[in-house]
Amino acid sequence: MESKIILVRDEFTAELEKAENSADLEAIRVKYLGKKGPVTELMKGMKDLTPDEKKAFGQKVNDLKSELTEKLTEKTKFLKEQEILKEIESMPEFDISMPAALGEGSYHPVTLVQRECERIFKTMGFAVEDYSEIVTDYECFEALNIPKHHPARDMQDTYYLENGQLLKSHTSAAQNAIYKKYKDALINDGVPIKAIFPGRCFRNEATDACHENTFFQMEGVMVDKDISISNLIYFMKTMLSEVFRKDLKVRLRPGFFPFVEPGFELDISCLICGGEGCPSCKHSGWLELCPCGMIHPEVLKAGGIDPDEYTGFAFGLGLTRLVMMKYGIKDIRDLNSGSLKTLTQFIDE
Ligand code: PHE
């Protein structure tokens, strides 16, 4: 029986030597290590041996089995490497010093406007923060004074994961984390919280020229002692006038959002007629641009900030909408289209 082991090993080695691809290897594996293969046969043959012989011989058969398995694995690895090398060799040679046929890439219009807004806010001392796209129900709603079953949730139906998390329906979902991050510096060292946080948002929308299920917003918050609506108006007017490169007028109308009190809709004077009234602004002279308001005491509390001592404002700039207005884009779906013909037209000014 010992000689049988040697024979199996030799035959196996010879066949393995000849194997050229994974199909060959699989055939060898089945032939030698399968249920009807010689290794199984050897095991079965042991039943006529004495217990001592069984022990010694069993060990040898087991060693053989491990040896064959190991060799198969080695050869599999070797053949894979050969395959990759062959693929590399067959690849056409290319000259990395050749100029690109496509010309230079360009930034997406949303990136251009986002960077412009970030630059302006940075000059006014705001930190730029990033935040996850997947958030909890607490972050997106509860911490913003929108309890379960509140009708305000209807406007923000979004996409839910099986674990209860969701794709954020507005950048306000980062507010709680921002307050918690900066509150110690505010309370202990008197450093005002000034942050903007641009981000991609998602809503369950029927898409049309004005609605998309994926769009961008840019949220901003400022919290300190004695922050008032005048601060909000000043920052928004300064920022928007710079983005549009003209001295804009702004006005506030009442608006409801559970996380601000009072809440507003901020309008800017029409970009086309400057406030005279034209078809673009439906002859009102104003364009609706940005919901905002004074941060609700409950929202500050949830962020660990005492609303009796501190106040603040928050705004939720529709970045996608701003891009459409700045560049005169009529259909929001163009922005997510991936069409280079459309998207490469915009340049950094
Ligand atoms: N998060 C609100 C929305 O997307 C906008 C908003 C932000 C309103 C901040 C007020 C203050 O609808």
Give SS3 for 206: coil
Q: Which of 232, 264, 267, 262 is nearest to 248 (CA)?
A: 267
Considering only CA atoms, which residue is closest to atom 5 of ligand 1?
316
The mean pLDDT of 218-244, rounded to a whole number, is 93
Highest mean pLDDT among 147-151, 296-300, 335-339, 343-347: 296-300
Count Cβ atoms below 10 Å from residue 134 Cβ, excluding itself.
Answer: 14
Supply the mean pLDDT for the chain: 92
Q: Please give the distance, rounded to the nearest whole angstrom, from the Cα atom of residue 260 to the centre of ligand 1.
A: 9
List the single range of 61-75, 108-122, 235-249, 296-310 with lowest mean pLDDT: 235-249
Quick check: 91 pLDDT over 90?
no
Share of the chain above pLDDT 90, in %: 68
The pTM of this model reads 0.71
Q: Please give the distance, rounded to the nearest whole angstrom, from the Cα atom of residue 153 to the centre of ligand 1.
A: 12
| Ligand 1 atom closest to Cα of residue 155 | 12
Confidence of residue 43 (pLDDT cuts 50, 70, 90): confident
Residue among 172, 179, 211, 289 whose CB has most ligand 1 atoms within 8 A, to mutate: 172
| Ligand 1 atom closest to Cα of residue 295 | 11
Quick check: 159 pLDDT over 90?
yes
Buried b (16+ CB within 10 A) or exposed e, 146-180: beeeeeebeebebeeeeeebbbbbbbbbbbbbbbe
| Ligand 1 atom closest to Cα of residue 144 | 1
For 69, counting Cβ atoms within 10 Å of its Cβ (0-12 exposed, 13-18 middle, 19+ buried), the class is middle
Q: How far apart are CA 343 and CA 349, in angstroms?
A: 15
277 Rama class: left (phi>0) / alpha (psi -120 to 50) / beta = left
The per-residue pLDDT for 102 is 67
Confidence of residue 349 (pLDDT cuts 50, 70, 90): low
φ, ψ for residue 135, nearest 5 deg: -130, 175
Q: How far apart are CA 249 and CA 229, in angstroms?
A: 16
Furthest C-alpha separation in the chain: 108
Quick check: 195 pLDDT over 80?
yes
Q: 24 is written with which tokens?
A: 């060959």
Confidence of residue 271 (pLDDT cuts 50, 70, 90): confident
Give SS3 for 111: helix
List the single range of 10-19, 274-283, 304-313 with lowest mean pLDDT: 274-283
